[in-house]
Structure formats: C-alpha cells, structure tokens
Chain A
Amino acid sequence: MALNDDYLDYPKRRHGYDHDRYDWSMLGERPPITWPGGKTLAVWINISLQFYPLNQRGEPFKVPNGMTMPYPDLRHFSLRDYGNRVGIYRVLKALKQHDITPTFAINAQLAEQTPYLVRRLQEHGGEFIAHGWNMDHLHYGGQPIEEEAELVKRSVQTLRRVTGQSIRGWLSPAKHQSFNTPDLLSENGITYCADWVNDDLPYVWKTASKNTLTMMPLSTEIEDQFVMSQNLHSEDAWVTQVKDAFDFLLEESRTAGGRLFALNLHPWLVGQPHRIACLEEVLAHISGHAEVWQAPAGEILDAFTHAEQA
C-alpha cells in the first residue's frame, strides 16, 4: 500500500528555513567583526562536568557515554565519576599553566552534591553555565512542558544558589532539546545557549519572551568525547584535528573577520593519565598568538553583542 499523498506535501518549502526560530544567513556574507583589542579569534574552552546516574532511565534514549551494561553498571558509573574526582584536577592544572579562563558547564545535581568541587572551580576562576540536571534528564520533543519547565527552573536555580553566579549560559545534556527548550531557557534568565552547532559565530534566536537569547555554537566535531569516544580515533589523531581546526579558523579570521573557536572537554575522558599530555599539547598550540582572545563564553557573547552594534 502506498503512502498517503500528503507525504508529498511540503508546507514549509519557502525562503529561509522550515521553522521560524532564527534567520537564514551565510557566515561569509555578514559584515566582519573584531574582538576586543582588535583580536580576530575568540577562544572558548568549555569544561563539561557531568553526573551519569547508575539507575539510568534512558528516557527517551540512552545518553551517549552513559550506562550500557545491566544494572549496576559500575564500570561506566565509576569511569565517569573519575572525571569529577581526579581528571578535573589534572585539567585545571593544565589550564593554569596556560593561563586559560575556562567556562564550566556543570550538571546542577553534581554542583549541589559536591560543594568541594564547586569551591575548587571557583578558586580556579571561570564562568559557570547550566548543563541541565544530570546526564539522564534529557530535554526532548514530546516531553510534557510542565516537566521540562520544572527541570530547567530547578537546574538554573540550583546552580545560581550553589555558585553565587548569575548563570547566563546553558548547555543541554547531549545537546538535545524539545521545541520548547529555548523559550524555557529565556524565561529563566538564560541569555545564551550552546546547543546548536550551525555557525562559527554567535547568532540571535527568536523566543516567545522579550529577552534576547543568543546561540553560541560549541563545536561537537572536535570535542574530545566525539572524536575519541564516538569516532574511536586515537589521542594523537584528536590533537591533530584540534590543531588543524584552530589553524584554519585563525587563518580565516585574519582575512574574513572574527571567528569563534570553541573546544568542549570532558575530564572523565581527557583527564586520564595517558591523555592529559595531549590536552597540554593542544593548549600549548592555541596559546601565545597575538590575534587570539581567550575568554569565558559570557564575555565572548558580550563582546559579540558590542561588536554587532558598533
């Protein structure tokens, strides 16, 4: 039996997108921008700190890097916990060596349960952004809006309470959203979101509220877990890819205008003894360039907004 003829209806076949959430715009066609001090490449180093519950529900799907074995999957639970106990301190040391001010995306439940970790991150210095409740509380299409609204509110408020920071940024677990997520973020005072990887500069999103929400693309393609855990490439291959990406964006920024290099890292992965030197090599490579401006994501957003208005 054939499909209904409405399978060949295309009600949103029109200029722009098949949705109304942001404007169609090609990066190469926009006026060039510059970062503070005339710099051309902004560097955002994002450290994702995550809690993967042992009693994973997997609703509506099992999160990548989560539990895969029958309960209790102690191997994956404790390997992920390693990042928050051991890996993060290696990562912080490496960041300190290169004088990098990171952005910490942290699950709110982890922040609440490990105040000592939060204090150490505060002592190091950097911006906290919300990373949902935990890695088993996904945001997804079909999720009841009341449930998601409560989840967003609880995550943001908890993180504000335990860090004392205003919390302007958001990264969804596994970068998954429902159609309501951006509106809910905006209602909760979030001004930028890192989920959509469709640009090499920030761009403005359309929400139901009067607050402005900006999408700050945090590249998935070069992040440690994507290259080494999903693609199963070697540590050395990851270093090469990150360096190649950085070199390309730096070169493009010299002629085409400001660009954003955003690197997401997971201490449970890159904080392992055999991988940490690779991170150090990457950080050494991206440090010491006259055209590079390294800052937390919120400062990059502010500079972008300022540059757009200039």
Chain B
Amino acid sequence: MKESLGVYDYWAYDQRPKIEWPGGAKVAFWVAPNIEYYELDPPQNPSRKPWPHPHPAVPGFSIRDYGNRVGHQRQMALLDKYGIRGSVSLSTALCEHHPEIIQMCKERDWEFFSHGIYNTRYTYGLSEAQERAMIRDSMETIHRHTGQACAGYLAPALSHSERTLDLFAEVGEELFGSDGGLYTCDLFHDDQPTPVRVRSGKRFISMPYSLEMNDTIVYAVNKVEPRQYATMLKRHFDRLYAEGAESGTVMCIPTHNYQVSCPHRIKAFEEALAYITGHPDVWVATGREIADYYLKHYFDAALDSMAVQAATAGREA
C-alpha cells in the first residue's frame, strides 16, 4: 500500500492560468445521473459485502429498482425541461437488462460513461488482468449499444485498485485512440479539471464530480433533509459562479434515479436546477464536452503552471 497514490502534484487553486469556458461562461455545469444495476444475489467479495443482510436484500434491491422503473423518467423529464443532457454513469449491464432506458437517453444525445458492469461487483481483489478485462467489457458494451467511445470512468461502487486510472486510460486508447479514456470521476481533490499522470503518458484528466453534492451521499450517508439539499446545491453553485469570474470552475450534480426522483425529493431537485440554469453565464455541458474543451485549451498550460509552481517552491526552500 502507498501513502499517496501520486498521480497528481500539488497545485494551488489561486495560482493557475485562467480558464474561460465557451461563451464567457463562469461555470461549466453538468449533471451525472448514475443509472445502476445492483444484483439481487451477487457473489461475495472478500473485502466488501454487496448487501448488509442475507440475500435477497429486498429493501435495498427494490428501492434501486424503483429508480429504474419509476424514477428515471421523472428525472429525465426534469432535465429535458431545463435543457440539460445527462452524462450517464452507467452500470453497463443495464444495456442488456433495461435497453429501453438506454434508448431514451440516446434519443436525447446524452453521454454514457463507464461505472463498471454491476454496482455489486467490486474492483477489490481483482488482478490487473481481471480489472482490465472488466473495464474493457464495460467500454465495449457502451460502444456496442450506443456507438459512443467511452470517455469517462467512475469505478463501480467507487471500488478502486492502485492501477484503476492507468488501466482505464490504456483500454480507452486501445479501443478508441485519443477519442476514448479521457477523464476520471474518481478523484475529489479539486473544483477544476486537472491533469492526472497515468503510466502510458496519455493526456488524461480528473473531472470534478462532487461527492459532496452526490445525492446518495447527501441523503443516505449524511441523512440530509430534501429541502436542505436544494439549499446546499444553490450555495455550492453561488460560490463556484462567483469564483468562476476569475477562472472557470466546474459544478457537477451526481444523481441517482432512486434518490432525487422520489416524490418527496424531486421538488427540491427541480428548485436547484431552475436556479442554476437561470443564471446567464453557465455552460450547460456533458462530461466529455468539458473534458474535450479543457484538453484542447488548458491541459498544456496546466502542466506548465504546475512545473512553475514546483520549481518556485524548490527555489524558496
């Protein structure tokens, strides 16, 4: 085990080249609906139990099924209403289980990125070859069902190995060249995209996907009241919007169709979407669109800036 993963260097927030998003926007705003499949009776993993109680885990399975049966279309209607195309964090087996959902998202030109195959199959304990095979399967599945070259990754159930980011970037390059395997959502260290070192040397970045604003963390872990979540989202946006005048920021709302779409919560979510998209200088985008723009315009300047900061610190030391 390592003390630190070591895939990015220290880089102070207030000493970076200025980011300007398209149209002079201050915030690049994206919504990442997680569309997941949890198995009713998954195999055991030595490091993590898929369900807290003996299978069948009726409470856990059935509320997640509510998300796919009921919640998805509610959330999609809201995103349509506010002109937002989702960037789907996808349990890719959903392409086989529930292709009707995939079709609805395709018709709206949503993005699909890999969130593993099932959210009940963890990375823990996989060999490098096994993890590579799982990632490759997930990206090939997305391509087969949607025609998209998968650009992003969020490890299934946020289960990682030390090689996860390297493997995703490599498989993306093998399958799609410079069109695939571009960004990870697995790091929560920043409010702007940042370069991430992978062993192949591929131009690869971290995309802000706020765990703090993730509805499952908010509702199921931190047990926040629905209307307070709306307040949190608005405050989060207000600050990133203000700071975005100095250098562009990224705001993501990661959602789950079994959380935000429940009848007692959807009103609060809509309030936040209306508020955010009601501001003029917001670039409503997808994860890939933000990644492409950043890689083209700011990636190299970021590397230079990081090198300068490191050298300056060295001189002062």
Contact = CB atoms under 8 A, between A and B. Distances in A.
B126 interface: yes
A285 to B, nearest CB: 13
A8 B56 contact: no
B70 to A, nearest CB: 5
Nearest to A9: B43
A14 B69 contact: no
Most buried by B among A15, A18, A25, A178: A18
Interface string B91-107: 00100111111000000
Given A3-B45, A196-B58, A200-B70, A232 B130 contact: no
A140 B99 CA distance: 31
Most buried by B among A142, A172, A237: A237
A61 interface: yes
Given A13-B97, A237-B225, A245-B263, A197 B133 contact: no
Contact of A27 (B37, B52, B69, B101): B69
B59 A220 contact: yes
B63 A197 contact: yes
Contacts, number: 154
A80 B39 CA distance: 34
Contacts of B223: 230-233
A6 B55 CA distance: 19
Nearest to A16: B97
Contacts of A234: 225
Interface residues of A, number: 59
A17 B97 contact: yes
Contacts of B210: none
Contacts of A245: 262-264
Contacts of B121: 7-8
B17 interface: no
B298 interface: no
A10 interface: yes
A18 B39 contact: yes
B127 interface: yes
A241 interface: yes
A13 B96 contact: yes
B97 A18 contact: yes
Interface string A195-224: 111111000000000000000010011100
A24 to B, nearest CB: 7
A26 interface: yes
A164 B292 CA distance: 69
A252 B130 CA distance: 45
A244 interface: yes
B176 to A, nearest CB: 22
B227 to A, nearest CB: 7
A289 interface: no
Interface in B78-124: 93, 96-101, 117-118, 121
B156 to A, nearest CB: 12
Contact of B125 (A3, A199, A230): A3
A248 interface: yes
Contacts of A176: 53, 58-59
Interface in B40-57: 40-41, 43, 45-46, 52-56
A221 B227 CA distance: 15
A48 to B, nearest CB: 15
Nearest to B129: A2
Most buried by A among B62, B227, B266: B62
Given A7-B43, A178-B56, A242 B72 contact: no
A71 B29 CA distance: 54
Contacts of A197: 59, 62-63, 66
Interface of A: 2-3, 5-8, 10, 12-19, 24-29, 60-61, 140-142, 172, 174-179, 195-200, 217, 220-222, 230-234, 237, 240-242, 244-249, 252
Pairs A-B, 5 closest by C-beta atoms: A2-B127, A141-B54, A245-B264, A245-B263, A198-B65
Given A7-B130, A199-B69, A242-B264, 14 more contacts: A2-B125, A3-B45, A3-B126, A8-B134, A10-B93, A24-B98, A26-B68, A26-B69, A141-B54, A177-B56, A196-B65, A232-B223, A240-B226, A245-B264
27 contacts: A2-B130, A3-B45, A5-B130, A7-B125, A8-B126, A8-B137, A10-B117, A13-B97, A15-B96, A15-B97, A17-B65, A18-B41, A26-B68, A26-B69, A61-B53, A174-B59, A177-B56, A199-B66, A199-B69, A217-B66, A220-B59, A222-B263, A233-B223, A244-B264, A248-B266, A248-B267, A252-B263
